A = this chain, B = another copy of it.
Amino acid sequence: MTTKEILHMNAGHGETSYARNSAVQAITDLCEPTSTILPKSMAIADLGCSSGPNALTLVSAALDAIHHHCAQQQQPPPEVCVFLNDLPSNDFNSVAKSLATLKHSYGDLDDPVVITGIGMIPGSFYERLFPCGSLHFVCSSNSLHWLSKAPDDLKEGKIPMYDMVEHLRVSRRAAVGDAYARQFRKDFTQFLSLRAQELVTGGRMVISLYGRCSENPISRSNQAWQVVAVALNDMASRGIIDKEKLDSFYIPLYAPLENEVNEIIEDEGSFEINKMLVRNPFSGMDDATVSPKMIALSIRAVFESTVVLHFGSSEEIMDEFAKTVEQKLSSGSGWRAVLAAEYPLKSY
């Protein structure tokens, strides 16, 4: 599971509908600069599709946009290939069943969008996934803040992601942040360069990821895994999890600042930025309906596999984890202040 779960609470106004609109816009843009004629055959891909109800959201939006555009221009819709990518551990069985339904639903339209290829592409998007110049449109929602791995230099230097000793933590904060930023730069550069090879000339990409707001001074130093680290630290200090194990625990997650993303895209050089949007994904959430407990459970859902893999945790430990996260979110200025600093959402 990915951090997407957090956003399910805000159905209809959340990140998915936001990315969906961007995808529709990109498909429209894809036709307009050259002519109103779409290519005869198109390939679209969602990278990091996950499974469940949201897996097909973006490709459906793209297919709708293609269908709408062709109806408006009174031209026959192109043959479309749809590709969904995620890591090999993703639940592709459920994606396969949804895709079968999708294929037939677009085939049943009046001017059917003929889906001549439907593929599930298991693999990391930090590696090549598609042949050269084979894709017209790529989208990736809520995935690119996940790194290919935690920073090697922290692991090798035995510098913990989050030091239990406060003065060490404070003195190493910049080093930890820099190591994560370097890993993000490396991964995101690689992502852009690979996709540039895979896209046709003039192809479009819509991506969304968690980021930090440059304007928000708290968020400048915080990391996206902060709330998890604080809770685990608390549990280690109470002897619930092993302190040494905490020192060697790294979450491969980084929420970049807006200008970091800008700079990397410019430095890599394959893409131009058409539009960049920043929003606070928690802005639509209501304190009356969203409780720290709900958020804590979502955070558990997102991080459980990572925590269990490292700590070999039991059900009891994960319950305690959710409880501790909930306490942290409830204390001080509340969940809104804690999370808004850590998870502002960006869309490019």
> Within 8 Å of chain B (Cβ to Cβ): is A99?
yes
State whether A99 and B122 are in contact (beta carbons under 8 Å apart), knowing that A41-B131, A81-B131, A92-B92 are contacts in the complex: yes
Q: Is A79 an interface residue (CB 8 A)?
A: yes
Residues of B within 8 A of A79 (CB): 131-132
Q: Which of B89, B93, B131 contacts A116 (CB 8 A)?
A: B131
**Bound: A95/B134 CA distance, A:** 24
Q: Which residues of B contact A95 (CB under 8 A)?
A: 92
Contact A88 to B97, CB < 8 A, known contacts A130-B117, A132-B79: yes
- Residues in B whose Cβ lies below 8 Å from that of A129: 116-118
Please indicate the chain B residues that have their CB under 8 angstroms from the CB of A81 in the complex: 130-131
A63 contacts partner chain B, Cβ-Cβ < 8 Å: no
Q: What chain B residues lie within 8 Å of A120 (beta carbons)? A: 92, 96, 119-122
Are B132's CB and A116's CB within 8 A? yes
**Does A96 lie within 8 Å of B100, measured CB to CB?**
no
Instruction: Mark each residue of chain A from 93 to 135: 1 if its CB lies under 8 Å from any CB of chain B, else 0.
Output: 1011101100100000000001011111111000011111010
Q: Which residues of B contact A93 (CB under 8 A)?
A: 91-93
Q: Please report the C-alpha to C-alpha distance between residue A116 and residue B120 in the assembled complex, in whole angstroms.
A: 14
Chain A stretch 123-167: residues in CB contact (< 8 A) with chain B: 123, 128-132, 134
Cβ of A193 under 8 Å from chain B: no
Q: Which of A88, A90, A97, A114 has the most chain B CB atoms inside 10 A of its CB?
A: A88
Interface size of A in residues (CB-CB distance below 8 Å): 32
Q: Does A121 lie within 8 Å of B123, measured CB to CB?
A: no
Distance to closest chain B CB from A200 (angstroms): 13
Contact with B along A40-59 (1 / 0, CB 8 A): 01010000000000000000
Answer yes or no: A184 CB below 8 A from chain B CBs: no
Q: Is A83 an interface residue (CB 8 A)?
A: yes
Q: Are A118 and B118 in contact (CB under 8 A)?
A: no
Of B88, B96, B114, B122, which one neighbours A90 at CB under 8 angstroms?
Answer: B96
- Known A-B contacts A79-B131, A131-B41, A132-B41; A88 and B116 likewise in contact (beta carbons under 8 Å): no
By a CB distance below 8 angstroms, the chain B residues around A117 are 121, 128-131, 134
11 additional A-B pairs beyond A81-B131, A99-B123, beta carbons within 8 Å, are A88-B96, A88-B97, A90-B96, A92-B95, A92-B120, A93-B93, A96-B122, A103-B123, A116-B128, A117-B128, A118-B123
